[in-house]
């Protein structure tokens, strides 16, 4: 298996799906001649030409809606958001049109489209460029929402998303693009809606997705040296949530900590807590604990930026709390 960067895995998925199906095209700012703001579309313009790799003007609402219209009549657009922060301008098209077309038409229409781009905080970019917005989209019926952590998952989930007949919102990790991992070649498709146990353990389950997975790994390693065995469940898909996988893991470890980059109120983690307490209450040995970003706007100052985000020490403290260990 080849070692690829997360961005290369995405690039491979795009290239393979475009080759496989001429209905697939990519549109977004700087995806063509510039080779992608984060280089995900590197080399694709030469391979597929300007009708299929389309440099859009800075008109998020406009080109997103154009994608939705193309999907309504049978094409399979991939709309790249330079980052999800800017996609807030396009939200009307994603939420009011793409998510609702099938319902409003009584099942006449389908909208096979992928909206993808980097999400998440960090890099000293302050409030408008540093947000984990996935819970916003996970709120809406009619959308599927995915957020892969590893290069292999990025490839497999993007391929599945492009083949899916529903609108899929994909959060890539802005800070994950350069990480490396083994990526299966060719037909590697991960079904949407399936979580993945990334680490087996006995004492506590860490439930997470996207970049937070890496902090969980770091925490798990440290905890292991202290004799605590941690299971990590990477949700991968946030809508629909893999309830079975969540419940199975909690029933095994009897303790859960949810690690979410975004804000606590109405976060995806809040829904996970609800699933656990309503369906596996009797299996719990301790209340579920959430580690989230702080309920504030992102700051530029380095120390504030760090303080706002979850990290391994915060996760370790939360694990100790659910284990009733001292120091928590």
Partner 1 sequence: MASAYSKDLLLTMYRKMYLMRRFEERTQQQYGLGKIAGFCHLYIGQEAVAVGVNEAVRPDDYMLSGYRDHAQPLARGSHAGMIMAELFGRTGGYSKGKGGSMHIFDIEHHFYGGYGIVGGQIPLAAGMAFASRYRNEDRITVCYFGDAAANQGAFHETLNMAVKWKLPVLYICENNRYGMGTAIARVSAVPEIHKRGAGYNMRHEAVDGMDALKVYEAVKDAAAYIRAGNGPVLMEANTYRFRGHSVVDPATYRSKQEVEDERKNDPIPRLMHYALKEGLAKESDFEAIENEIKEQVDEAVKFADESPEPSLDELWRDTIVEEGEEDVRPRARVLGEKVDNWPSYPSGKDLKVTWDLEPREQAEKADKAAGLKS
Nearer to partner 1, 5 or 99 (CB): 99
Instruction: Provide, rounded to whole angstroms, the least separation between the CB of residue 162 and partner 1.
Output: 11
The values of phi and psi at residue 76, to 5°, are -125, 80
Q: Is 56 in the site for partner 1 (CB under 8 A)?
A: yes
Sheet holding 237-239, edge to edge: 53-55, 24-28, 76-80, 114-119, 168-173, 144-146, 237-239
Q: With contact defined as beta carbons under 8 Å apart, do 269 and 258 qualify?
A: yes
Site size for partner 1 (CB under 8 A):
53
> Tokens standing for 315?
């996760």
The reply to whether 60 belongs to the active site is yes
Per-residue string for binding with partner 1, 143-182, x by CB under 8 A?
-x--------------------xx----------------
Among positive and negative, which fits the CA dihedral 247, 250, 256, 260? negative
Q: Is 227 in the site for partner 1 (CB under 8 A)?
A: no
Q: Is 43 in the site for partner 1 (CB under 8 A)?
A: no
Residues 76-135 binding partner 1 (CB under 8 A) are 76-77, 92-93, 96-97, 101-110
Query: How far is it, in rounded angstroms, from Cα 156 to Cα 262?
Result: 24
Out of 15, 42, 52, 129, which residue is the one contacting partner 1 (CB under 8 A)?
52
The reply to whether 129 belongs to the active site is yes
Out of 51, 186, 281, 302, which residue is the one contacting partner 1 (CB under 8 A)?
51
Written as one string, the DSSP assignment of 32-69 is: STT--TTSTTTTHHHHH-TTTEEE--S-HHHHHHHHHH
> Tokens standing for 118?
């980097």
Per CB under 8 A, which region of 52-60, 197-205, 283-291, 317-325 contacts partner 1? 52-60
Q: How far is CA 256 from CA 61, 203, 269, 281, in A?
A: 39, 9, 11, 11
Out of 20, 47, 124, 221, which residue is the one contacting partner 1 (CB under 8 A)?
20
Q: Is 57 in the site for partner 1 (CB under 8 A)?
A: yes
* Residues forming the active site: 60, 129
Residues that bind partner 1 (CB under 8 A): 20-25, 32-33, 49-52, 54-57, 59, 61-77, 92-93, 96-97, 101-110, 141-142, 144, 165-166
């Amino acid at each position: 298996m080849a070692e690829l960067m997360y961005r290369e895995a995405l690039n491979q998925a795009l290239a393979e799906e475009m080759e496989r199906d001429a209905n697939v095209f990519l549109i977004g700012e700087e995806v063509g001649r510039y080779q992608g703001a984060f280089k995900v579309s590197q080399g694709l313009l030469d391979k597929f030409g300007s009708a299929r790799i389309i440099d859009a003007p800075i008109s998020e609402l406009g080109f997103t809606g154009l994608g939705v219209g193309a999907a309504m009549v049978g094409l399979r657009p991939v709309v790249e958001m330079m980052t999800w922060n800017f996609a807030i301008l396009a939200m009307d098209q994603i939420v009011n049109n793409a998510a609702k077309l099938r319902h409003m038409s009584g099942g006449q229409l389908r909208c096979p489209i992928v909206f993808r781009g980097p999400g998440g905080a960090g890099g000293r970019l302050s409030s408008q460029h540093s947000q984990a917005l996935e819970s916003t989209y996970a709120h809406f019926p009619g959308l599927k929402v995915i957020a892969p952590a590893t290069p292999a998952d990025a490839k497999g989930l993007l391929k599945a998303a492009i083949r899916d007949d529903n609108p899929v919102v994909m959060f890539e990790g802005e800070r994950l693009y350069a990480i490396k991992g083994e990526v299966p070649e060719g037909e590697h498709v991960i079904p949407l809606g399936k979580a993945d146990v990334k680490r087996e353990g006995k004492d506590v389950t860490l439930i997470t997705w996207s970049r937070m997975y890496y902090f969980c790994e770091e925490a798990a390693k440290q905890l292991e040296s202290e004799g605590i065995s941690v299971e990590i469940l990477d949700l991968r898909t946030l809508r629909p949530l893999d309830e079975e996988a969540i419940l199975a893991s909690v029933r095994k470890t009897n303790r859960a900590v949810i690690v979410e980059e975004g804000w606590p109120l109405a976060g995806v983690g809040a829904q996970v807590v609800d699933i656990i307490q309503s369906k596996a209450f009797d299996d719990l040995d301790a209340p579920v604990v959430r580690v989230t970003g702080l309920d504030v706007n992102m700051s530029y100052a380095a120390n504030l930026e760090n303080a706002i985000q979850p990290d391994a020490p915060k996760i370790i403290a939360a694990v100790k709390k659910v284990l009733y260990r001292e120091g928590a």
